[in-house]
Chains A and B, each alone.
Chain A
């Protein structure tokens, strides 16, 4: 493209000279065009190599912009690292090392994965018992429960099983909801509870007619 432009310098100059003349005569932003502008236009008109210069200029400007941006990026990175704000600089190596170690431990055949049966060794070398053995208090009944036995305890405590349903009918509100179908008043509850006792006679029959036992429940 440059070669073509060089072959026809006259074609390029003439529109510029026309533009120049119109600019000189027509209204301009400021009354007196600055010296540098004048010099610029004169240069373009007088020198036929102006096209090549134009392309060179564009490249030069582009290079300038790029250099500024590169210096910005470099200085930002330099600042972060020097101030110690780049926390990944050494941590990455540490993590890589640890994960490589863990991988080696897995691949190691001498590891006691199956030999120990109950106790499985994981990649960090820890063993976990098959049943979780932390002890805490149940929020429903208030007893001390082992974590691994908490779910079955909740089943009994809260109402999935028969025994739990038995306990639930003793409280008046529960009786309304579950066993008394169609009987809306709480006065029916003693009757329903005795009826349920007679129906489901197993374990210890409770003689709690008229009593509402909400909190204190005895497990068989």
Chain B
């Protein structure tokens, strides 16, 4: 039993700060925190949701969901399955102008956050 305890304490070593990979992760986390704190993330989410609903992307995704559920049977579908089914199609079917505008806004935010 003591052995088990020791194993549970044995964590993998914390990543070294000089490691490139670790730095990229840290940067992403930093950006994420900045996004949330400044409220930009919330604004971006609302903007994207509105645009995607307008252009019918959301309804397409819902139709795919319903068709999948109808096929599988109403009580056999888990949320995880649904997400796994939709994600590739969702990412691929984003209209280009919306994607471009969103990326532009994010890059602007990154630059303004850096300066």
Contacts and interface: CB of A to CB of B under 8 A. Distances in A.
B114 A16 contact: yes
Contacts of B69: 77-78, 81, 89
Contacts of B74: 81-82, 89
Contacts of B115: 16, 19, 23
A62 to B, nearest CB: 6
Given A57-B28, A60-B28, A40 B52 contact: no
A78 B61 CA distance: 12
B71 to A, nearest CB: 11
A59 B99 CA distance: 10
Contact of A58 (B41, B61, B106): B106
A119 B107 CA distance: 74
Interface of B: 23-24, 26-28, 30-35, 41, 44-45, 48-49, 52, 58, 61-62, 65-66, 69-70, 74-75, 77, 79, 82-83, 86-87, 90-91, 94, 99, 102-103, 106-107, 110, 113-115
Contacts of B35: 61
A69 B79 contact: no
Interface SS, B side? helix
Interface string A5-30: 00000000000100100010000000
B42 to A, nearest CB: 11
A191 interface: no
Contacts of A77: 61-62, 65-66, 69, 82
B114 A70 contact: no
B61 A70 contact: yes
27 contacts: A16-B115, A19-B115, A36-B33, A36-B34, A39-B26, A40-B27, A53-B24, A55-B107, A58-B103, A61-B106, A62-B99, A65-B48, A66-B94, A69-B52, A70-B61, A70-B83, A70-B86, A70-B90, A74-B79, A74-B83, A77-B62, A77-B69, A78-B82, A81-B65, A82-B74, A89-B70, A89-B74
A64 interface: yes
B86 A54 contact: no
Interface SS, A side? helix
A59 B91 CA distance: 12
A86 B103 CA distance: 35
Contacts of A82: 74-75
Contacts of A53: 24, 27
Contact of A57 (B33, B79, B110): B110
A207 interface: no
A63 B44 CA distance: 12
Contacts of A86: 66
